[in-house]
Amino acid sequence: MKQPVVIYVISDAIGETAQHTIRAVTAQFDFDEQPDIRRHAFIRDEAALLETLEEAKVADGIVVQTLVSSKLARYAKSYCEQEKIANIDLLTHLTKAIEGKTGLHSKEDPGNMRRLDSAYFDRIAAIEFAVKYDDCKDPRGLLEADIVLVGVSRTSKTPLSSYLANQNFKVANVPLVPEIPLPEELFKIPANRIIGLTTTPEKLGRIRRVRLRSMGLDEMSNYSSDRRILEELEFGYETFKKLKCRVIHVEDKAIEETAALVQEMIEEK
């Protein structure tokens, strides 16, 4: 049976505009299996955008973007053209048409459509928290987090943190590297607030090689070697046992699906 169509919604706001459009279009087809729609919201810089585009490339997906920032929109267009990824930009052509007709210029403010209510500010605070405490930049944030994600490099910690932040969760994440000691703060928080993320060696190897290639580096370096990957994954399992935390295998899951599992586990406490 054919794999479902994978559609990546990329937005520097919530991504509702694209989602509504996609639903209107996909409703016209008799799919054997419904499309896998993966929404990546609040993409505000090139690093986050590149990570999502790389994921779309690996998944052989279709990109539907509603990026208000012309700089990010051009970046996405250029990457998709270079990598031969189908890319639909829902905003740029209409924005340019209105600018040409009126002589006005777009504010390029992705949050301008949203009402500035308390829920909005709570969400922004959660997003800022996720950015501040990404990759354990400051381990003190672990003590304040609603959710702490731990896992080796390229197990979707950062995009998952961003997605959960959009659900108003304060999320911190910790990269697991055998040579780097675990922060002591990690052992001071309840195990039910910690979620381990892991994957298969094969999937991790593919993702790391794509990452290295996109950076112009040798994709056969130690970072993507079978030996190193197995060593890191084993270290991950040992860490999960020490922390007595629950674990999610992310290799066959969209970000939305993993996020739903995380929320379910956290609410079980």
| 61 located within any domain | yes
Same structural domain for residues 50 and 82? yes
Longest CA span, the chain: 63
**Is 239 annotated among the ligand-binding residues?**
no
Q: Of 77, 102, 127, at which residue does a domain stop?
A: 102
* Structure tokens belonging to residue 115: 């009402």
Same structural domain for residues 212 and 149? yes
The range of the structural domain enclosing residue 75 comes to 6-102
**pLDDT score recorded for residue 157:** 96
Q: Cβ(197)–Cβ(155) under 8 Å?
A: yes
pLDDT digits (tens, 9 = 90+) for 225-250: 999 999 999 999 999 999 999 999 99
Same structural domain for residues 213 and 123? yes
**pLDDT score recorded for residue 214:** 86
Separation CA 238–CA 235 (nearest Å): 5
Same structural domain for residues 94 and 221? no
**pLDDT score recorded for residue 220:** 83
Same structural domain for residues 124 and 92? no
Q: Of 53, 69, 102, at which residue does a domain stop?
A: 102
pLDDT digits (tens, 9 = 90+) for 39-78: 998 899 999 999 999 999 999 999 999 999 999 999 999 9
| 44 located within any domain | yes
- Nearest-5° angle of CA 134, CA 137, CA 141? 75
Report the predicted TM-score, pTM, of the whole model to 2 decimal places. Answer: 0.60
| 107 located within any domain | no
**Is 157 annotated among the ligand-binding residues?**
yes
Q: Of 102, 132, 148, at which residue does a domain stop?
A: 102
Same structural domain for residues 129 and 251? yes
**Is 214 annotated among the ligand-binding residues?**
no
Same structural domain for residues 240 and 126? yes
Separation CA 130–CA 157 (nearest Å): 10
pLDDT digits (tens, 9 = 90+) for 108-136: 887 666 544 567 788 889 999 999 999 99
- Nearest-5° angle of CA 160, CA 214, CA 60? 65
Residue 1 pLDDT level (bands cut at 50, 70, 90): very low
**Is 152 annotated among the ligand-binding residues?**
yes
| 112 located within any domain | no
Q: Which of 25-29, 33-37, 114-118 has the least mean pLDDT? A: 114-118
Same structural domain for residues 204 and 130? yes
* Structure tokens belonging to residue 102: 């009126």
φ/ψ region of 103 (left if φ > 0, alpha if ψ in -120 to 50, else beta) reads left
Buried-state track 177-202, b at ≥16 Cβ within 10 A, e below 16? eeeeebeebbeebeeebbbbbbbeee
Q: What is the mean pLDDT of residues 252-267?
A: 93
pLDDT digits (tens, 9 = 90+) for 170-199: 999 999 999 999 999 999 999 999 999 999
Same structural domain for residues 92 and 150? no
Separation CA 264–CA 269 (nearest Å): 9
Same structural domain for residues 55 and 92? yes
**Is 52 annotated among the ligand-binding residues?**
no
The average confidence (pLDDT) of the chain is 92
| 109 located within any domain | no
Separation CA 263–CA 160 (nearest Å): 11
**Is 26 annotated among the ligand-binding residues?**
no
**Could you give the C-alpha distances from 95 to 29, 66, 68, 242, in angstroms and in order?**
29, 11, 9, 53
Long-range (24+ apart) CB contacts under 8 A made by 124-127 are 125/170, 126/165, 126/166, 126/167, 126/168, 126/169, 126/170, 126/171, 127/42, 127/162, 127/165, 127/166
Residue 76: which CATH number? 3.40.50
**Is 154 annotated among the ligand-binding residues?**
yes
**Is 153 annotated among the ligand-binding residues?**
yes
**pLDDT score recorded for residue 259:** 95
Cβ neighbourhood burial of 242 (10 Å; 0-12, 13-18, 19+): exposed
| 113 located within any domain | no
Closest CA to 179 of 245, 223, 240: 223
**Could you give the C-alpha distances from 230 to 26, 172, 180, 201, in angstroms and in order?**
40, 25, 17, 7
Beta strands in the chain (DSSP E): 6-11, 36-40, 62-66, 87-89, 147-151, 171-175, 194-198, 246-249
Same structural domain for residues 95 and 135? no
Same structural domain for residues 91 and 123? no
**pLDDT score recorded for residue 216:** 87
Residue 16 pLDDT level (bands cut at 50, 70, 90): confident
CA atoms within 13 A on the CB side of 159: 27
Q: Count of domains in the chain?
A: 2
Other CB atoms within 10 Å distance of the CB of residue 261: 16
* Structure tokens belonging to residue 202: 């094969």
Secondary structure class of 36 (helix, strand, coil): strand
**pLDDT score recorded for residue 114:** 57
**pLDDT score recorded for residue 111:** 66
